[in-house]
Amino acid sequence: MTDTGTIAWMLVATGLVLFMTPGLALFYGGLVRAKNVLSTYMHSVVCMGIVSMVWFVAGYAIAFGPDKWVGLIGGGEFYFLDGLSPAAPMGQSSLLFMVYQMTFAIITPALISGAFAERAKFRGIVVYFSIWSLLVYSPVAHWVWASDGWLFEKGVLDFAGGTVVHINAGMAALVFATMLKPRKGFPTESSPPHNIPMAVLGAGILWFGWFGFNGGSALAANSLAVSAVTNTHFGAAAALVGWLLIERLLAGKATAVGAATGAVAGLVAITPAAGHVHPWAAIVIGFAASIICYGAVQLKAKLKYDDTLDVVGVHLVGGIVGALLTGIFATGAVNGLTESDGWFYGNASQFVDQAIGVGATILFSGIASLILFVIVDKTVGLRVSDEDEARGTDLSEHGEVAYQTTDFGSFRTH
């Protein structure tokens, strides 16, 4: 019998997660200079097209098709979505499950783009994202979320994407931040955000969409979805408060950018734990993420790698924090999986399993992303020239400008 309530919820959750990608475009776009806002938008928006096509042809099959080799890669079925049914229950043969998972595949490479904003060639990024989504994202999704994936069978917990999405994208971002020639003037010249309200709005859309990201990962309209949504909110709220407190104590001012960044850090960290912990633990995870991710963002200046929008500090570090703390605070009382109790509840082996999942994702994504970077950079090219960077990537890459004037003072009323 068809569960119309679950179908309705999953259709809504799918729309919420897809809406996160334009939200990410606003968040990232507001944080760059005015001459680069459209190119930054395009790095996210293009994923809605190219990743969808890759997912249709083979991405979904590799991620959720029957295992082909020791839990590392799927295939054999579902190429071109063959064999999927709109009437099937939620699962690997369901068309709805496929399209819901596609929205995750779309936003993951878009997250990477914050690391190279203001200095990347659009055509090179299109090639890189197309191949990365197929050969890096889909295999890791198979490891963690497919029932015959090796990390799934090992018992690694990742409710909605701490490893698959955030650590995976964060490692690729680290590759770009360290390998791609930095922006001219970095790190001595300041590059302030051109539109902070836009960035805060984008963060708000991400927070809104994240209810589908985490809540939908219950794959049903049930109490587990309620727990995931509740934990998502409290994790983000705690991290926002924590980030502002740290800013006030260390820098003297609590900033709007800090509030937005803190909320996103909390959302990242609670993602793997959303369906495994109590709300009090979600608050602990959120606060921990605010402290550790804030420190990681500050460390960037000392290490002098050009991660334009702090993808490494927020998504890679936040994903690691969330995955490891899941191994501490997870409890079967939330989802009925008593074997998934964490270290806090007497099962230290769950923390060890989480560490293995984190390490495997870092190693694979780091190596694969680096190899792909070198290949695409040597063939298609990934870095714009200094002249094109000075003009702005909106004009040099797309022949457009976001605003008819960059004299924002002229917009003020007197």
**pLDDT tens per residue across span 146-197:** 999 999 999 999 999 999 999 999 999 999 999 999 999 998 888 999 999 9
For residue 275, what are its two tokens?
């369906």
For residue 387, what are its two tokens?
């002249």
Q: Considering the chain, what percentage of its residues have pLDDT values greater than 90?
A: 91
How large is the average pLDDT for residues 206-218? 98
For residue 382, what are its two tokens?
């990934």
- Match 């230290």 to its residue by tokens: 348
Mean pLDDT (the chain) is: 95
Task: Report residue 90's pLDDT band, with 50, 70 and 90 as the boundaries.
Answer: confident
> What's the pLDDT score for residue 1?
43
Task: Report residue 20's pLDDT band, with 50, 70 and 90 as the boundaries.
Answer: very high
> What's the pLDDT score for residue 2?
66
Distance CA 68, CA 77 (A): 10
> What's the pLDDT score for residue 407?
53
Distance CA 308, CA 300 (A): 10
In CATH, the number for domain 4-388 is: 1.10.3430.10
> How do residues 23-34 score in pLDDT, each as one tens digit?
999 999 999 999
Whether the per-residue pLDDT at 92 is higher than 90: the answer is no
> What's the pLDDT score for residue 60?
98
How large is the average pLDDT for residues 122-133? 98
> How do residues 95-106 score in pLDDT, each as one tens digit?
999 999 999 999
Task: Report residue 390's pLDDT band, with 50, 70 and 90 as the boundaries.
Answer: very high
> How do residues 51-84 score in pLDDT, each as one tens digit?
999 999 999 999 999 999 999 999 989 999 999 9
Instruction: Find the distance separating the first CA and the last CA of the chain, reported in whole Å.
Output: 65
Whether the per-residue pLDDT at 254 is higher than 50: the answer is yes
Whether the per-residue pLDDT at 129 is higher than 90: the answer is yes
Task: Report residue 414's pLDDT band, with 50, 70 and 90 as the boundaries.
Answer: very low
Q: What is the CA radius of gyration of the chain?
A: 20
